[in-house]
Amino acid sequence: MTKRFSPSQLVLLVIAVILAAVWIAPIAWGLATSLKPEDETTVIPLQWFGSELTFDAYALVLGTGGIVKWAINSVVTAVIVTFLTVLFSAMAAYGFARTQFRGQRALLGLILAGIMVPPHVLIAPLFAQMVALGLVDTWWAIILPQVAAPLIVFILYKFFQDVPPELEQAAFVDGAGRWRVFFTIVLPLSRPVLAAVSIFTFITTWNNFLWPFLVSTDPNTMTLPVGLANVVQGTFGLRYAQIMASVMLAGLPLLVVFVLFQRQIIRGVAHTGLAGQ
């Protein structure tokens, strides 16, 4: 049977299509540019397609030799940051949701106030702190400042408040302690939201350019965005085909992650109760 749309649904559908086109147009242009011959990327008037389809830009970027190492560095950094962020945020959120202690409301308000602080405001003091601790050009300098995530704490805090306390009380009656309840009951029940915040944290860490760029000048610790930026700026200059090829290569793993885990992302957003806010 043919499904009929109401006028309001048609309007929303048209708006969604327009927004999708606006979102995908820059990506399509970047992909088309990366497949052009270099001397045709600045031709006026601009054209979507070049005279031939070529992968020379990708060959030049991949031929630098460091891209595999930078990709491995990005994976290691993103995985460690994601694990530590979700673990510590879940512990903090559960503590606020299920325990009472002096100064709880003030401390929770202080953490939530961190959501309103733009991350770029903290770059200067964080960098000074890394220099004072002698951690510049180390994995710790890249990882530790990215672990603090007030927004993740808030999302998990709201979710844990909706977990039925009767399940925990039954475990306490059976002799389970707080830690055992947290790891064997609360966390398994929270898998949808944990999956969602894990994927969001992974993507954010993978895309993070400014902070790793500031604290990492050693090629052995550079992440993929930093390494590709240095190659493009230092070797290729303003060669747009190579620049767009590097952008496509850096974004490809994230596309794969989203395609594989889009169901978990949608379910996690729905379970947080924040989808309509």
pLDDT digits (tens, 9 = 90+) for 204-262: 888 888 888 888 877 788 888 887 776 655 444 567 777 777 778 777 777 777 777 76
Domains of the chain: 56-272 (1.10.3720.10)
User: What's the confidence (pLDDT) of residue 276?
Assistant: 41
pLDDT, tens digit, 9 for 90 and up, residues 64-74: 667 778 888 88
User: What's the confidence (pLDDT) of residue 277?
Assistant: 39
- pLDDT, greater one: 87 or 99: 87
Q: Which of 61, 56, 67 is nearest to 246 (CA)?
A: 61
CB-based contact 231:64 (threshold 8 Å) = yes
Alpha-carbon distance of 212 to 216, in angstroms, equals 6
Enumerate the H helices of 174-233 as residue ranges: 178-181, 187-189, 191-207, 210-215, 224-231
- Omega into 45 within 30° of 0, i.e. cis? yes
Rounded to 5°, the CA angle 131-137-139 comes to: 105
As given in the structure block, the two tokens for residue 56 are: 């020379």
What percent of the chain shows pLDDT beyond 70?
86
- pLDDT, greater one: 246 or 270: 246
pLDDT, tens digit, 9 for 90 and up, residues 114-144: 888 887 888 888 888 888 888 888 888 899 8
Chain centre to alpha carbon of residue 171: 35
Q: Which of 157, 161, 267, 144 is nearest to 215 (CA)?
A: 144
Note the residue count of the chain: 277
- What is the pTM for the complete model shown? 0.76
User: What's the confidence (pLDDT) of residue 82?
Assistant: 92
Q: Which single residue is written with the structure tokens 């220099």?
A: 131
- pLDDT, greater one: 44 or 124: 124
**pLDDT of 179 above 50:** yes
